[in-house]
Every structure is written in structure tokens, then in C-alpha cells.
Amino acid sequence: MPKKIEQFDNERKEILNKILAILNINESNDTFSLHHIDENIDVQNQILALENDIKKCFFCGNWSCFKRKDFVKRRWLSMIKYVCKENNYDFVSMQLKKNGINYIDTIYSIKEK
């Protein structure tokens, strides 16, 4: 029997809040660096540890991070994107360049719509 989305509204918001806390996203800081998280295995593991909670509260059977686990390079990033989208948050990436030429890092911004 399909899950009723309304039944899990509080849990879905709680999962988002956990992710935001892990990424240190708050009212004064709405960004995180891909490079920083790539180097921080603990943060990645904390997000990946939410997998069972996410599967319980979201319709996520078609999410690439779960459907094609072996082909997704950064499962944790995919999970963040989908959870933000499902909670009506904007998830925007910006590439930082040095002198407008050399790629330095990707910065992600998470904001409530």
C-alpha cells in the first residue's frame, strides 16, 4: 500500500533539518562547499546514515541515489538534492572560478522557497 505523504510531513521536515544541521546550514549561512564535503567522510557518512529514514518517509523508489546506487558518484549529494526538492527548498549550485578562468570549487546554496 502506498505511503500517504501527509502522514510523514513532520518526519520529512525533521530529516531535512538533520541534513541542514550536518551541513551547518542556518539563517546566517545557506551555503556549503562541495570540496569541503568531499574531503569530510564523517559528514558524508552522517547523511548516508539517514537512508533508512528517507526511504521510510519519502516516495524515493526512482531517486537515482537509491535506484542506481553503483552509478551515482556522490550518493550523499543526490540525497540532499532530493530531500530539499521534496521539502520545497531551492538547491542551487554555483561554480567558483579564479580570475574567471580556472575552476576552484562548487558552492551549493539551500534556501526555502
Task: Report the pLDDT value the prediction gives residue 20, as an integer from 0 to 100.
Answer: 97
Quote the Cα angle for 44-4-70, to 5°: 30
Task: Report the pLDDT value the prediction gives residue 4, as an integer from 0 to 100.
Answer: 56
In angstroms, rounded to a whole number, what is the distance separating the alpha carbons of residues 113 and 106? Answer: 21
How many domains is the chain built from?
1
Task: Extract the C-alpha cell encoding 49.
Answer: 546514515
**Which structural domain, as residue segments, surrounds residue 40?**
5-112
Task: Extract the C-alpha cell encoding 110.
Answer: 539551500
Pairing of strands 31-33, 102-112: antiparallel
The model's pTM: 0.86
In angstroms, rounded to a whole number, what is the distance separating the alpha carbons of residues 3 and 83? Answer: 16
Whether 71 shows a pLDDT value over 70: the answer reads yes
